[in-house]
Structures are given as C-alpha cells and as structure tokens.
Amino acid sequence: MAEQQMDTPMVFVWGFRIPKENHDKLVDLLTTGHGGMDTQRMHPYLPYTKSRHFFRPEDGGKTEAWFVFDEVDDQASYDAMKEFAADYAKSPDAATHQKFYEEVAALTIEGKFPTPVMSYEVVECRVEFQPWKYRAKGLERLKRKQKTSD
C-alpha cells in the first residue's frame, strides 16, 4: 500500500468556520493577501495542481463552514514543497506569510489557522466527466437518436 501511495494523488483539506459578516473580508484576503491565491500563482514551488474553496451557510445563515481542497499529484511533489518550505521559513518573506496566517485566523470562529488533513486518492474509484454543458449536449443527441430508431 505505501508504494502505491508514492504515485497517488493527494488532497489537503482545510476546514474552518467564520461569522457570515467576515465572508467578503476572507475572500479579499485569500485572493489578494500575501499567502493567498496571488502568492500561490507566483510560486512554482507549490505542488498544487488545483486549489478550490467552498463554503456553506450554517446556524441559520449566521456562520459559514469553509473547506479548502489543495490537490497534489504525488508524494514526490509534496516532499519537494516541504523541503522548499523549510528554507522559506528562514527567509525574510516568512514573516509576511505568517501575518497572512494570523489575519485568516482572526476571521475564524476558532481563532486559529486551520491544520490541513492530508488524504490519498483511491484512484480505482476515480470518475472524471466532461463539463456538464458538453455532457448535456451528448445526452440530447442520444435521446434524438433513440427517438429516430424507435
């Protein structure tokens, strides 16, 4: 099992809750703050193939549960990032990045930056689809074809 995991995609899931009134502040911080999406786009050392953010209203709309999914291709990519991160932690930029973590933490109900949970994909269970608009067109063609063959 461990050898299979070396080449298996991984996902880091970050979960936290915020008061609803912090929604726009968090989106702004994530998209423009040092350490947010702009920083991720600028740094090729990050092994993510995809980073996605989701939320859902809770407590009658007073709070939001947020989930961040960072996908990584394989263990080797992740290990390379960890090595870089160890060096980065000693750089002058690290203090600015730490400020980003503190700003995110201040917006959460928990009052701390979330700790990610890392999981391996079960590749045998993967299903990938074309975007719905293309699948919907294909289904329409199939329905028309079935009607004409009846």
Instruction: Round to whole Å and give the CA distance between 119 and 13.
Output: 8
Distance CA 40, CA 32 (A): 11
- CA–CA separation, 97 and 112 (whole Å): 15
Domain of residue 78, CATH code: 3.30.70.100
Specify the pLDDT at position 49: 79
What is the average pLDDT value for the chain, to the nearest integer?
83
Percent of the chain with pLDDT over 70: 86
**How does pLDDT run across 94-123, given as a tens digit for each residue?**
777 788 889 999 999 999 988 888 888 888
Of the candidates 75, 71, 73, which has an alpha carbon nearest to the alpha carbon of residue 2? 75
Mean pLDDT of all residues in 132-150 = 79
| 3-class state of residue 45 by DSSP | coil
pLDDT at 58: 97
**Number of domains into which the chain is organized:** 1
pLDDT higher than 60, residue 61: yes
Range of the domain at 33: 2-149
